[in-house]
Structures are given as structure tokens and as C-alpha cells.
Amino acid sequence: DSGVTQTPKHLITATGQRVTLRCSPRSGDLSVYWYQQSLDQGLQFLIHYYNGEERAKGNILERFSAQQFPDLHSELNLSSLELGDSALYFCASSADRSWGNEQFFGPGTRLTVL
């Protein structure tokens, strides 16, 4: 158990819908990262938040958005869902901005868009 929690574990929805994925980092971790794992694109970085502020964006679609709240939990919002958005979405957290700090991964949320 990494200490990072993600809810829900599984999500099945229809095209055009909107969903919210939730992540709670390890106690004390200020950084939250979101990654997408799909069959055709592999593991890809989406976005990084540090202590409530966006730090870096990766290959995140405009239909996707994220935020980190004062209690440090984070939410990834996916809207106007398409079949290709079906993937495993991971959240990871790390302690601070010290270089090389390990990123601890949550169990992931499996999203299926029908």
C-alpha cells in the first residue's frame, strides 16, 4: 500500500459524459501528479500540482482539467468523453520538490467509456 488513495476504482460511462476522479496523496506530500495509461499511448504524464498550484502540464486534452484543494487532495475532471479516453488513470504523490524524490502511485481508476 503506497498511501495514495484514488476513487473510484472503476468507472463506466457513456460518450459525451463528464466524470471526476479523486486522489488523496500520502500524508504530508505536497505534490500530486496525474498519469494516463492507455493501450495505444502507454503511460503519459498529464499534469502536476504542488501545494495547490499547477506546476507543469503534459499531454492533457483541453476537455480535461484538474485542481488541488487546500487539504491537498486532487481531482481530475474529464468532460465530453470519447471512446479513446478509456484508460487507467493514475495519481502519484511525492514529498516536496527535492530532486529525485520518489513518486508513490495510487492504485488507479479504470475508466471505460462506452
Partner 1 sequence: AQTVTQSQPEMSVQEAETVTLSCTYDTSESDYYLFWYKQPPSRQMILVIRQEAYKQQNATENRFSVNFQKAAKSFSLKISDSQLGDAAMYFCAYRSSFGNEKLTFGTGTRLTIIP
| Interface with partner 1 (CB under 8 A) | 2, 31, 33, 35, 42-45, 48, 55-56, 58, 88, 90, 92, 94, 97, 99-100, 102-105, 107-108, 110
Shortest Å, Cβ 16 to partner 1: 27
Cα 97 from Cα 113, distance rounded (Å): 35
- Least distance (Å) between residue 82 CB and partner 1: 22
CB of 56 to partner 1, least distance (A): 5
Nearest CB to partner 1, comparing residues 22 and 110: 110
* Amino acid type, 10: H
Taking the least distance from each CB to partner 1, the nearer of 7 and 15 is 7
* Pair 26, 2: CB distance under 8 Å: yes
Shortest reach from residue 89's CB to partner 1, in Å: 11
| Residue 93 near residue 104, CB atoms below 8 Å | yes
Give CA separation, 73 vs 12, 19, 26, 27, 28, in Å. 23, 16, 9, 10, 11
Q: Is 38 helix (H, G, I), strand (E, B) or coil?
A: strand
